Structure 1
C-alpha cells in the first residue's frame, strides 16, 4: 500500500492535510478539508450537538453512519442535517443545539 506524500516528500497526515474554515455557533473552526462535519465538530471538542426533544438532554454523535439521527445540526439555515454523513465545505455555517457552552475544553 502506498502512502500519499505531501510537500517535500513528507507523508500527508493531519498536520499537512489541506484545511478549510467553517463557522460553528458563530465561531470560526479550522478542520481538515473533506472530513465529515461530525469529525470536524468532535475535533473541535464539541460532543453535544442537539437536544433530545422530550427530555432536553444534550445528544451527540453515536452511530457515525447516519442511522441514529443523534448528530443532527442546522447547516446554512437547514435544520435536521446529520453531521456524520455531511462533508464540510469552506464557509459552511453550523448551529448546534448545545451551543458554545457545550464545548468540552477540559
Structure 2
C-alpha cells in the first residue's frame, strides 16, 4: 500500500470528518439548499448542530452562504469552487459504500 502523510489525512478529516458534515455536503451537491430543506433531508441532526456544522464548513471555505434580499428572508447553502473539489472523494465513498453493502451481505454473522 502506498505510504500516506498522516498530517494530510488528519487535515482533511478535520474539515469533513465528524458525524454530519459529509451528509450536509452530499445533500447540497449539486443543488443549493435552504436551512429547513437540509434539516428535513437529515432529520437526525438538531437545528443547533446543523447551524454549527454549516458555520464550520463556511469558515473552512467549503460552502457558501447566500442571503437573498427578499421577504421572507431566503438563505441558501452551496458548495464553493473549493468545496467542489471534494466531489470526486464523495463519488469514491459512494462507490465504496455500494461495494461494502454487497460485501457485508456475504459475511457470516457472529450468531452463525
Query: Normalising by the residue count of structure 1, what TM-score does the alignment of the two structures yield?
Result: 0.25
Higher relative contact order (CA 8 A, sep 6+): 1
Q: Report the structure number with the largest CA radius of gyration.
A: 2
Q: Could you say which structure has the higher strand fraction?
A: 1
* TM-score, length-scaled by structure 2: 0.24
